Structure 1
């Protein structure tokens, strides 16, 4: 060909270099190419190990410790109905109003839940959950000890209201976030066993407090409660262990854009109204039993039966929700409890009927605590969503 140019030596060298590079390319791996398969392999291995680690072992010890902490924190709060009946019957605080007594019980619950963001912040700032739980144990001890020396109603507001609520909050908020870190498939069941401790503790303490108030005195009753709860909660706090480092839990900021999501609004609405009804029911059953002709001891027994229903009903609700769906089971239990409250107000005129309905109401009314965390996890859309922290006030990527 006339237009064909002779090959340049530079072109020959370039072609040879390109050919050698091409021949060597299949056997050559860059750092990035070799890193990606290795990263996937490590992540896959960690996921398998984490799956095996989270479904048993020491997690069950943590469940037992959390059960005891709930029993000796929320169980104490559940006995306020017994204390309330005693205060009103014996006129312990002169010139105290019924609104003031109700204010004490309301402060306990509101401080308990309202301290959640602070409890979570302290846990992440310290880098461990145990010190925060021990702080709550100390506050609960101070509250019960201070209540034993209360002479006026505002003393009870500070001790049995604010201080006790803060102590319970620092304990149960942190413990509630530890249990989901250890379980995946049985998360609802494990969590429901934990919160069932509140019902069992309330059942035991309601009967014990009534007996101690009748045979001892108000001051000695608080002393005994202080000693028992401090000992049990301290040992449980020392044995419980979180997995914040293994699960890469972090403190996420609140995302107010979540309020634009209809499912979040429905979840928050269900939470608010469930808590309103639950607290009113828990504190009013002993007084209602007395209103229909029962004695003070029968009122305490009705409250204890309500707590027993919680202790047995919450694990049952959690077990069923793992199999049948958490939202469906929570909705059915909430509807059942609402219907029972209507029936109780309409037909419960005998103590035996009050006890039966109290047990059923306790079994279904505590479904909020057994399913709420897992519903938050189900609605969460991944690591960029802070739905769990927003709804519980605790933040973090691991659920509570």
Structure 2
């Protein structure tokens, strides 16, 4: 009797399991069986394993989902943490070398223009405006670049930017007056920078999360690599050929680096659910983001003062030859190439905001304690290396820091406002330094290295101040004032 009852209960459980699998459970079966004296059947729990019919969509090893007909492919919504992302890193290295690396050489050109009075109507302050104008135009293109990317795709937008970069440099080579040079080098070249910079910045966040700052640091080291190589080749072209062909050659180098890299770029916009809002002014008064763009405004002014003034300090204040001024520009670029991947690694391990704050404290203190009293080429070499490793960290830290504050989905929209908010600081940074230098000479009667005390002090103070401002974003994220908490 016991044996027959046990066989009956096993048969009932097997029948109900079969019905559950095929979706045909009879609600009366359990009651009927209980009335017959069978053992109770447990109700399914939310954490029980539920068997479902096999889906027609199966994930493949590449993180894609292939339909049963082998047609449509839908990207996985998980960040790959590498994969094709490393190809994106390589492309961005080449692009940064052909854009910001070329822009770094303006310090070499500027010293040559002033020494040889190359363009009629050019002045020290005028050439300072050209360098700032190109970066200001690049940053001003943020909403335009987002709009074009949403309409035509980021690749078409970036190819248009590459065309402007090449044309701006080549046309600057054939200019005769300062004002035509201002349009070509300052506006056309600057717009090209913006149309390539803005759409490319969020792409690495589609492929990396925990190693985003490291990947961004490696990618932005391309600007240091380009500056290191091109600062020396530009100086040789100016000495051996002329300005016209130096600018045209750099334009062709940009073309060779940019076009293949842009073609190889890929994004994961649908998988990440990102938005391409051209202009969302709400970020300007966002309680956490406001500290980020204020940080960017101050550190960008300090960055351009150091980038464009260090070589002229060596040649003008200390009387060193032009070759040593160009060498300092190369060493500064080498510092960028070394420092940005290192800081990227530290940002991922020690906290993105924490290490960015430390970086700019070091940048400001080194400016005040090394550059300010420097009276020899050797001391300037050491400072150029430190400045290169710290001063331009904004270009590699901006995307990870903004992503940490607003999230990846709103990254493109927030970055657009971030770059837009830096237009005026980028435009006026170097002219402010020149105005302070002129004031020191004309009103205070200072000369030589002493005349640079005020602009160098402004540079160091701005670096320390921007670090203090970024601490406000750290406090907003944490909800407290703890200094050593990882953020």
- Aligned equivalent of 2:210: 185
- Aligned equivalent of 1:74: 100
- Aligned equivalent of 1:137: 162
1:233: how far off?
0.8
Match of 1:89 among 106, 115, 138: 115
Q: Deviations over 1:339-363 (max 9, x none)?
A: 1111234321101110110110110
* Structure with greater helix percent: 1
- Aligned equivalent of 1:264: 289
- Aligned equivalent of 1:312: 338
1:280: how far off?
1.4
> Structure 1 length as normaliser, TM-score?
0.83
Alignment of structure 1 residues 38-187 onto 2, 5 Å: 49-51=76-78, 54-126=80-152, 128-187=153-212
C-alpha distance in 1 between matches for 2:394 and 2:134: 18
1:114: how far off?
1.1
- Aligned equivalent of 1:213: 238
1:70: how far off?
0.5
Q: Deviations over 1:172-216 (max 9, x none)?
A: 221112111111111111111111111111111111111110111
- Aligned equivalent of 1:358: 384
Query: Are 2:306 and 1:281 equivalent residues in the alignment?
Result: yes
Contact 2:205-2:408 within 8 A present in 1 as well: no
- Aligned equivalent of 1:10: none
- Aligned equivalent of 2:398: 372
1:23: how far off?
4.2
Contact 1:379-1:387 within 8 A present in 2 as well: no
1:257: how far off?
4.2
1:393: how far off?
5.2
- Aligned equivalent of 1:390: 417
The farther-off stretch of 378-387 and 154-163 is 378-387
Alignment of structure 1 residues 242-253 onto 2, 5 Å: 242-252=267-277
Contact 1:189-1:319 within 8 A present in 2 as well: yes
Match of 1:202 among 227, 230, 238: 227
Q: Secondary structure at the match of 2:378?
A: helix
Match of 1:298 among 306, 321, 324: 324
- Aligned equivalent of 1:325: 351
C-alpha distance in 2 between matches for 1:230 and 1:95: 30
Aligned residues: 362
C-alpha distance in 2 between matches for 1:279 and 1:375: 21
Q: Deviations over 1:58-96 (max 9, x none)?
A: 111111011100011001111111000000111102332
C-alpha distance in 2 between matches for 1:142 and 1:216: 20
C-alpha distance in 1 between matches for 2:172 and 2:408: 45
Q: 1:24 to 1:335 in 2, by over 3 A?
A: farther
C-alpha distance in 2 between matches for 1:133 and 1:382: 21
C-alpha distance in 1 between matches for 2:305 and 2:183: 21
C-alpha distance in 1 between matches for 2:125 and 2:410: 44
Contact 2:204-2:215 within 8 A present in 1 as well: yes
Contact 1:293-1:351 within 8 A present in 2 as well: no
Q: 1:388 to 1:336 in 2, by over 3 A?
A: same
C-alpha distance in 2 between matches for 1:149 and 1:340: 40
Query: Are 2:268 and 1:228 equivalent residues in the alignment?
Result: no
Q: Secondary structure at the match of 1:245?
A: helix
Tell me, which stretches of 5 or more residues in structure 2 are unaligned? 1-24, 31-42, 45-51, 66-73, 422-487
Q: Secondary structure at the match of 1:96?
A: coil
Q: Secondary structure at the match of 2:271?
A: coil
Contact 2:172-2:181 within 8 A present in 1 as well: yes
C-alpha distance in 1 between matches for 2:256 and 2:400: 31
Contact 2:121-2:177 within 8 A present in 1 as well: no
Q: Deviations over 1:149-182 (max 9, x none)?
A: 1101001111111111111111122111211111
1:54: how far off?
2.1
